Amino acid sequence: MLPVLQVGPLVLPTASLLTVLGLGAALWQAERQANRQGLAGGVVYDMGMIGLLAGVAGARLVYVVRFPEAFLNKPLEIVSLNAGLFAAWGGVAAGVLAALGYGWRKGLPLWSTLDALTPSLAMMALVIALAHAASGEAFGAPANVPWAIELWGERRHPTQIYEALAAAVILWTIWPRRAAGSEWPAGVRFLMFVALTAAGRLFLEAFRGDSWLLPLGLRGDQVVAWLVLAASLWQLGKRLRPAPGQPENKP
Amino acid sequence: MSVKANFLLAHWNVFVAAILVAGLVWIAFSRVESDLIPSLAVAPRQGFIAPDFSLPDANGETITLSALEGQVVLVNFWASWCPPCRVEMPAIEAVYQDYRQKGVIVLAINATAQDDAQSALNFVRSNGLSFPILFDGDGSVYARYQISALPTSFFIGRDGKIGEVVVGGPMAEALLRARLETLLQEGR
């Protein structure tokens, strides 16, 4: 665990640093993959940047709407660089909507664009797992297995390592290879990534020590992952086996 | 396409149904018997019980964290030589003045093992800080809270559980207000 990096007087949170570096690499890879697929790589890169900027603005806006009274004394703090003043899900929603809107306006084909973004998304999943390992977040349940790690006062499942291994396997599986990837219809790479990630989450969540719980002790993330898995497999089946008379979804 | 892939596609619905049923079984198998996640373990991390401590304040009186259960507590580790610690102190004071009547207490733990107590007191006086300043002379509380950088702040709820940890600073006043307000509402 390495929660912060001290560089002279600067204290850099390792998880945030990894995330920023990962985002840079993911944007670069998205442009590269889009060019390979015959899409406008520059437009895909811009779409990613717009998504990021809208995400940051949306996260702050949602936070301000949620806690308006906190800004009454110092309204200028609405534009402060303080990393704690963001609402994560508001940012994700705003970023995704802005990116989709931009892509739609620029006439990017939805499924092929998602395929081009998939290696970047898989890279980010790995980066997030490593960020969790650095910060000690997403920690495991207490365990007596020989590979348990000492964390937060107890020996626990190293769920961050499980998460990183799963993300690495998924990244390897969906990584574009000319011979295999060129056969896949549009959208299949993206849907495979979603299905594999949901399946991994469904399995690994069982070892977590910080799950949010639903009635009957059900782990909320597992239920969400199961629903995402069902939806992605259903859509994957549709794209892999086009109905008779329908054209194939070429990449 | 390979023979395996063709076989899979021919039996796609069976494959999907089998995976989804296995998923449901796994969800049922791995459900949690109680709602104690994370457990009631003590650790300096969000969701856990805050490690207890007893430290002397500027008047020599000992303050114990566990004696403050029922109040929302902001524990702030700081040093007088630390620029972001100095910058955020006026914001902490302003928030303390607004929230102390609502059941919020601030404990500012000076990392005395790597600071000078007199410099710390001078800073406190010159800034008119009214909340308790505690002195961690041997660094034992600093070590127990696994502090990796100054300032580090722990927002602790009425039940003694840590609601959030903020590493680094300076914290914005809005952040302080939002976090404390959330903890006050949770404890109602």
Residues B22 and B105 placed together within one structural domain of the fold: no
Output the pLDDT for position A21: 94
Q: Are B72 and B101 in contact (CB under 8 A)?
A: no
DSSP strands (E only) in chain A: 4-7, 10-13, 149-151, 154-156
How far apart CA B76 and CA A172 sit, in angstroms, is 44
Flag the least confident range among A10-24, A202-216, B8-22: A10-24
Output the pLDDT for position B19: 97
How far apart CA A117 and CA A234 sit, in angstroms, is 21
Residues B118 and B163 placed together within one structural domain of the fold: yes
Number of domains, chain B: 2
Q: Is B178 on the interface with A (CB under 8 A)?
A: yes
B17 domain-assigned? yes
Output the pLDDT for position A251: 47
Pairing outcome for strands A149-151 and B54-56: unpaired
- Residue A184's nearest CA partner among A108, A119, A239, A109 is A239
- Written as six digits, the tokens of A240 are 């892999």
| A to B CB pairs, distance under 8 Å | 127
pLDDT digits (tens, 9 = 90+) for B106-162: 999 999 999 999 999 999 999 999 999 999 999 999 999 999 889 999 999 999 999
Domain boundaries, chain A: 110-251
Cis link prior to B151 (omega < 30° from 0)?
A: yes
- Residue A13's nearest CA partner among B149, B85, B144, B164 is B149
Confidence bin at B8 (pLDDT 50/70/90): confident
B49 domain-assigned? no
B78 domain-assigned? yes
Burial class of residue B29 in the structure, from the number of CB atoms within 10 Å of its CB (0-12 exposed, 13-18 middle, 19+ buried): exposed
How far apart CA A14 and CA A6 sit, in angstroms, is 10
B23: chain A residues, CB-CB within 8 Å:
199, 202, 226, 229
Task: Using a pLDDT cut of 70, give the percent of chain B over it.
Answer: 95
- Residue B47's nearest CA partner among B145, B157, B130 is B157
CA distances from A23 to A126, A194, B128, B178 (A): 11, 19, 44, 28
pLDDT digits (tens, 9 = 90+) for B105-122: 999 999 999 999 999 999
Q: Are A84 and A223 in contact (CB under 8 A)?
A: no
CA distances from B148 to A2, A106, B44 (A): 9, 47, 12
Task: Using a pLDDT cut of 90, give the percent of chain B over it.
Answer: 79
Mean per-residue pLDDT over chain A, rounded: 91
Tell me if B38 and A63 make a contact (CB, 8 A cut-off): no
Rg (C-alpha) for chain B, rounded Å, is 24
CATH code of the domain covering residue B69 = 3.40.30.10
Tell me if B174 and A80 make a contact (CB, 8 A cut-off): yes
Residue B37 has pLDDT above 60, yes or no: no
Residues B14 and B82 placed together within one structural domain of the fold: no
Pairing outcome for strands A154-156 and B162-167: unpaired
Output the pLDDT for position A152: 84
Output the pLDDT for position B34: 63
Among chain B residues, the shortest Cα distance to A237 is held by: B12
3-state secondary structure of A141: coil
Domain with B13 in it: 1-31
Tell me if B175 and A84 make a contact (CB, 8 A cut-off): yes
How far apart CA A92 and CA A79 sit, in angstroms, is 19
| Complex ipTM | 0.87
Confidence bin at A247 (pLDDT 50/70/90): low
State residue A187 phi and psi, 5-degree precision.
Answer: 95, -15
Tell me if A222 and B26 make a contact (CB, 8 A cut-off): yes
pLDDT digits (tens, 9 = 90+) for A16-46: 889 999 999 999 999 999 999 999 999 999 9
Tell me if B23 and A223 make a contact (CB, 8 A cut-off): no
| Selected residue of A2, A6, A63, A67 to mutate for chain B interface (largest B Cβ count, 10 A) | A67
Residues B123 and B90 placed together within one structural domain of the fold: yes
* Identity of the residue numbered B125: R
State residue A28 phi and psi, 5-degree precision.
Answer: -60, -45
Residues B15 and B108 placed together within one structural domain of the fold: no
